[in-house]
Homo-oligomer: A and B are copies of this chain.
Amino acid sequence: MLLRLKRFLIGRPMKSHELGDEKLSKLKALAILSSDALSSVAYGTEQILIVLITLGFAALWYSIPISIAVLALLTILVLSYRQTIFSYPTGGGAYIVAKDNLGVRTGLVAGGSLLVDYILTVAVSTSAATDAVTSAFPNLHPYRIEIALVMILFLTIMNLRGITESAQVLAYPVYLFVAGIFLMIIVGLFRVATGDVQATPAEFGLDVSGISLFLLLKAFSSGCSALTGVEAVSNAIPSFKAPSEKNAASTLALMGIILGSMFLGISLLAYFYGISPMKDVTVVSQIAEAAFGRGPIYFFIQGTTALILFLAANTAYAAFPLLAFMLAKDKFMPHAFMIRGDRLGFSNGIIVLGLLAGVLAIVSNGYTENLIPLYAIGVFIPFTLSQLGMMRRWYRLKPQGWLIRFLVNGVGMVTTLSITLIFLFTKFSQVWMVFIFLPVVYVMFQQIHRHYMAVADELRIDLATDKPEAKGNTIVIPVAGITRVVMNTISYAKSMTDNVIAVYIGFDDEDIEKMEKKWEEWDCGVRLIVLRSRYRSIIKPLVKFIETVEWKNSETGHITILIPQFIPKHWWQNILHNQTSLLIRYYLFKYKDVTISTVPYHLNK
């Protein structure tokens, strides 16, 4: 039943050599990896305006130079990451680059930061998409969390099905969103050029009283939230079709160009149309309404915007499992993250991401907007470390023309570091949590690593000298009566060794006497030891007895407990059997160094 449900949801299992088919073409990669970055234009300009409007309408013209600054930053990031892609064709995420050039510890800071960030991406994006849905259908508002959770569940299942099929589903909305925004920008600017717009924008270049560097920096850092998601491509190079690094670099450049044009276009339109941020209507919505009126094109733009926010969450589903895989390979996360599922995705990573994002959505009660700055700083820390790593690399390897590359990454490092500091400086009240979760994740990585290394040490043997030796073995069989199951178990034990002891635990004299007599009558060739339990406990007398055997047996070595286990025909019958044997298993296994053999007895009725 469960298996059939799994097949229906996830699809048939795939062979390992089908892995190649699952690689992404450039266009598909653009859809699946860039929806996070592209969706940011839905709120990037607005974030800038929200900060500026605190000084009044006249200050809004600053959004143009600030947008250009963000654009410059985007260019720097794209150029820097292009270099990373070619240097690390097997996947050049911040974790790899930082680890490779700055040491494991720095790599873990970058990796941990990104890992937490992907969870935030899913929670924040699905909440934002939910907002879009509930804005359209206000009567759905009480079900915000449920809607967000359904989205997360849907994303999880889709990703368990495999990355290419997901991309096919996801590609169209991204294309439509890009087409819609470009249409809006072209039509909008054309109408501005033809003087078709009545709005009076804030006077450009006017000195506004109260403007401060702090405020401008704050507005700039807010605008930088439009750049989250740029790193996704460099993390996912192995998912590209060959030649993967070239395709990845082209995809990154294409994404940068599209993102930059859309962002600048929206900022310009917002300025020319004299739009100020409103509480209930987004800036993009205001522009679309001003350009097209509340017609079908308006609703088309609104709809695709809502959809792409939902898809932005999907980016994390591509990135998180890959990063978890890399960390697990380096023994910083549980091995389970290295296992590819039936459909060749890293199932455990996908499931864990879905679960954690779901928990985050629940505990934040669906209002994750406040997490956006935290989410942004969580991206800029690994950005900075990755650039620093690349600088170190150029300096170390000094290939031809290294100085210019060093400078490109140097500029990238300085700017991303500055932005990280600006975040801390201007928005500390929203980002302080980074100082809690980063150390926690870091310590977790280290603990897991230490554990795996210690175990590997402990388990290592010398092939030449360490060989298995046969020792003695005592088999203990707890019996509650004389039945076919007991006979079966004794027969099994006798086929292993002659050293077999049956143990009966009685609660009162009458039972004990009866059992002893019956056993004698049976005469099965195995000695019966009777223990009296005054507390009606099975476990304690058994443990004591095993300790005695251990003490007597210290040289011969092994002790085996044989526990018969009923396998009923119907699952519900399990609650009618096996409770005691489960208890015995659990206790003995936890506290004693004995081998526990469960001998199955399949019930026919």
The residues of A with any CB-CB pair to B shorter than 8 Å are 13-17, 334-336, 339-340, 342, 448, 451-452, 454-455, 457-461, 463, 466-473, 482-485, 487-488, 490-492, 494-497, 507-508, 518, 521-526, 534-537, 557-558, 560, 565-568, 573, 575-577, 579, 589-590, 593-600, 602-605
Question: Taking the full assembly, how many copies of this chain does it contain?
Answer: 2
Q: A17-B534, A460-B483, A461-B487 are in contact. List 11 more A-B contacts (CB 8 A).
A: A451-B568, A455-B566, A455-B603, A459-B484, A459-B485, A471-B495, A473-B495, A567-B589, A594-B600, A595-B599, A597-B597
| In the complex, chain B residues whose CB is within 8 Å of the CB of A471 | 491-492, 495
Decide: A536 and B470 in contact? CB cutoff 8 A. no
Smallest beta-carbon distance A327→chain B, Å: 13
Bound together, the chains give a CA A147 to CA B560 distance in angstroms of: 49
- The residue in chain B whose Cβ has the minimal distance to the Cβ of A471 is B495
Bound together, the chains give a CA A599 to CA B537 distance in angstroms of: 25
Decide: A603 and B495 in contact? CB cutoff 8 A. no
Decide: B16 and A507 in contact? CB cutoff 8 A. yes
| In the complex, chain B residues whose CB is within 8 Å of the CB of A492 | 471, 473, 558, 595
Decide: B473 and A496 in contact? CB cutoff 8 A. yes
Most buried by B among A459, A568, A579: A459
| In the complex, chain B residues whose CB is within 8 Å of the CB of A593 | 600, 602
Known: A596-B597, A603-B458, A605-B451. A535 touches B15 (CB 8 A): yes
| In the complex, chain B residues whose CB is within 8 Å of the CB of A455 | 566, 577, 603, 605
**The residue from B451, B457, B491, B534 contacting A470, defined by CB atoms under 8 A apart:** B491
Bound together, the chains give a CA A469 to CA B494 distance in angstroms of: 7
Smallest beta-carbon distance A516→chain B, Å: 14
- The residue in chain B whose Cβ has the minimal distance to the Cβ of A568 is B451
Decide: B16 and A536 in contact? CB cutoff 8 A. yes
Decide: A521 and B468 in contact? CB cutoff 8 A. no
| In the complex, chain B residues whose CB is within 8 Å of the CB of A579 | 335-336
Decide: A16 and B534 in contact? CB cutoff 8 A. yes
| In the complex, chain B residues whose CB is within 8 Å of the CB of A537 | 13
| In the complex, chain B residues whose CB is within 8 Å of the CB of A458 | 484, 603-605
Decide: B536 and A576 in contact? CB cutoff 8 A. no
Bound together, the chains give a CA A453 to CA B185 distance in angstroms of: 79
| In the complex, chain B residues whose CB is within 8 Å of the CB of A16 | 507-508, 534-536
**The residue from B469, B484, B599, B600 contacting A491, defined by CB atoms under 8 A apart:** B469
Bound together, the chains give a CA A13 to CA B334 distance in angstroms of: 40
Decide: A461 and B473 in contact? CB cutoff 8 A. no
Give 11 CB contacts A-B under 8 Å: A13-B535, A335-B579, A463-B518, A468-B487, A468-B488, A469-B491, A560-B597, A589-B600, A593-B602, A596-B597, A596-B598
Decide: A334 and B575 in contact? CB cutoff 8 A. yes
Bound together, the chains give a CA A190 to CA B494 distance in angstroms of: 85
| In the complex, chain B residues whose CB is within 8 Å of the CB of A467 | 487, 522-525
**The residue from B463, B491, B534, B576 contacting A335, defined by CB atoms under 8 A apart:** B576
Decide: B482 and A461 in contact? CB cutoff 8 A. yes
